[in-house]
Homo-oligomer: A and B are copies of this chain.
Amino acid sequence: SVGEVYLVGAGPGDPELLTFKALRLMQQADVVIYDRLVSPQVLDLCRRDADLIYVGKERDNHSVPQQGINELLVQHARQGRRVVRLKGGDPFIFGRGGEEIEELQAAGIPFQVVPGITAASACSTYAGIPLTHREYAQSVRFVTGQLKNRTSDLNFDELVHPNQTIVFYMGLHTLERLCAGLIEHGKPVATPVAIVSQGTSAHQRVLTGTLESIVELQREAQLPAPAIVIVGEVVKLRSRLAWFGESERGQANA
């Protein structure tokens, strides 16, 4: 008989931010197929005798291409196994979860999806930066900083309006172009920016500056990926609201 696939969001890294549902399914799984953004501490919570299969997902260099991952899921489920597809953050927010379950649906394999705390939410919280705030931001937007074909294909006109918070996922390696694009399209150069690197982990570091200064600050600080980039007035609140201990190298204009 056919197995089942659970597409599970592992959250941002801190294993205490896993949900009960995620852990329950991880402990029932015969096979766990996971990628680079799942923390080792989370992986340790899988069933002891489950097969763990790493499918990578380096930027621009997927260890297993997406189509291969889709096929792995189908193949293991067809062998009657309970498969957990474990993804960093949330499967439906830049997680390509939709593509994976489209394949399962087409193959007639039952599936469930478990939301996880997405990086934008967890990392901003652990950095003391509310994504919305009555006075500063009435909306928040999640955008991928990973630009197709290495050319800027973001619609910057949409991103320069005031009173919104923008969170770029995977924006570290395109930081310079993102800041330049926002400035060119009219976003004030003094707009506060934060980089949250390895958010929620013991290695979390936060760098704050402005659209004008952050590129140079990051050049000096060299915070590592994974990281999110937060743009908006709410970043200012961090100076008062930070609560999670970390070593911080730069703090400019914030």
Contact = CB atoms under 8 A, between A and B. Distances in A.
Given A96-B134, A121-B90, A102 B21 contact: no
A171 interface: no
A142 B131 CA distance: 10
Contact-residue size bin, chain A (C-beta under 8 Å from the other chain): 35 or more
B133 A99 contact: yes
A29 B85 CA distance: 35
B155 A158 contact: no
Instruction: Report copies per complex.
Output: 2
Interface stretch (A47-55, A105-113, A190-198, A221-229): A105-113
Given A125-B91, A241-B98, A142 B143 contact: no
A24 interface: yes
B161 A161 contact: no
Nearest to A148: B138
A250 interface: no
A122 B138 CA distance: 20
Interface of A: 11, 14-21, 23-24, 90-99, 101-102, 105, 110-118, 121-122, 124-126, 128-134, 138-144, 155, 158, 161, 163-164, 234, 237, 240-241, 243-244
